[in-house]
Structure 1
């Protein structure tokens, strides 16, 4: 049988079924999708491939899904470090964004973010930022996969004058991307403290009509809880429940301030949580009770947040942090084992975005979104358990090759669809432009 590609590997970690490691197996790929997974000897006898490669020192895993990003904010990496969230956001980030954010900023920042993510094995990301049509265009050009947020806030920005225009522009983008195989949209109301009732009620109705996810920061900090009590007389989640806003398509980001009854109510809603451990640690926002969420049956994914508050887009590092931090928070070394952490960084992210039928695991019929991680380096030796080494020992420098829909985006650490020299030059230009007109925060 003739196929496009045959990838032969020392290990294949499909994620689904859970905990399975396939030794000396191959992935048969045709038309951008996986058509077979079988032992190498059988694959060589069964298939004639236009291209075939051996990864005898690698594990092939599903591409990572970065379930919460602000991609263009990579251009603000390190400008306002070591401050709590609201001070960081109100006194530093928002003023910088007001001055600089436009189509060029989003274009160049998104390219920088995608280059970093691809080199870290990320094949899909869920974004929330201004000028989402620019992000979508850059994603399509690069060949990555993304869910682009139709951002919504109460106040004006360079992209829109207010809630009505945010929604109008977002819906136009949804129509434009309706049949795009790589880029789709989600509603992205920013947070309970930045979006009021009437726009949220419109989002609730539109999300149900269009069957799109709703992606929102929620219960991120103690300050958010206090603001909600002052404004509404209740905690943010209860307010959203009264608006009938929670449901299976709702994706709550951060969730560091949770009481047990709120966990139970959120589990009943069927929504997903995106855990951003390193951003939460850096901003001292709090600890997401991941083990409790999983025990309650909640789908928990992993995101990096933006590079301005992390300060990287390293999902492998985030995955390791998520696993280790969850153990400490739960006071249980068995909480979030390696295979669960890997699932959170892949299939759970896909499920949160409504993409689990197409990506997130290496299964027949799914898109060939694949990351190859070299495991023969000193840092991952000796090797007893490939899943353990991927989660607890390997670093993103060991990602050598990446495919999205069977198309290669990274080959032997070299970017195929992005010009790294051009990206670096533009990043340096933005740095000089910012420093020339703004006093660097101290």
Structure 2
């Protein structure tokens, strides 16, 4: 942190103009911008190269409500119909955000109703993300807490040399699409000692498309996630589903998954290949959630489905899970429905307790499918979340053949299991498969 400091004190009312002027002045001037203790009310801010911004303990950056307030902060990747964010850096370098302060994003202002059966709020059609860093280099985020994001919380896009540590994200557990940290087509990223609690994915790697095209923004490569604690009603540590570009050299290690739906997941849908991924030394606690959230309480899910006829899913290969312990209410699911396939999955020292759950036991979840991408106009549900068929059943929640096993595999090549133990109840719950392993090969596609 530079030695020189500029202290920005709280103002009455909206301080957006004054705070942006302070950012512009301090960036590149070797001066640290310090947000002093107190509440700072503001709308969209643009972060600049060579900015060092420090939120003192007790400082609250309180983002004002309203999607239109952030019209000047548009970004290149559209997500859930959102094209903007509260805080944005685009084509910048050497930015540091630090401190024990809080960013309050007021997601409750974007709730328009409730879906009690699904266990979620109904979100507003347009919601800003909280922080988007796109096409940047050498970005650091440390110690800050972000609360109640209305949409994706931290979104890193096509950036290099990123360090995120000791960051806390605390979101509404019923608000859809509130992913904690999204690493999107980035390289050389380190995430460590973070605490994420959210309704949607915890830490997720994506390779999105540019605008409304099918062209990837880039690839994800050399990503490290370590010593993080995650609570998620969707998937805690995830790759996909947006997977237009490749993923390689990814490491998730020494993490704790608490009170989550899915723990570890890889989802290929959009043409990018996923290879050389390691999950190691991770404890999991997986619980089923209502049907509005993807997943069925699985400790591990790897699946590959085509959701566009013109763009088959990419191949998944050389994935290792080692020293994975804990409990799950679902099963381990390895499911390939695409010709691209899943090849070389390694389980080494996996010890899980499987217990009965309250919602979906006996079913596995293959969402999202092409039904979620473009639902029929008369279908019940919410696009990219859930769609119901003519019988009122959620499309993509599928009964296990002959009941729930411990490990379910479909069209998997090269599955290697070493020292794998699934502890199951005795007697087994009604409808469970008596076999721990259930593997099917040469099955025809069901979801194309």
- Name the structure with the higher strand share: 2
Q: Which has the higher contact order (CA 8 A, sep 6+)?
A: 1
Q: Give the TM-score normalised by the residue count of structure 1.
A: 0.28
Q: Give the TM-score normalised by the residue count of structure 2.
A: 0.28
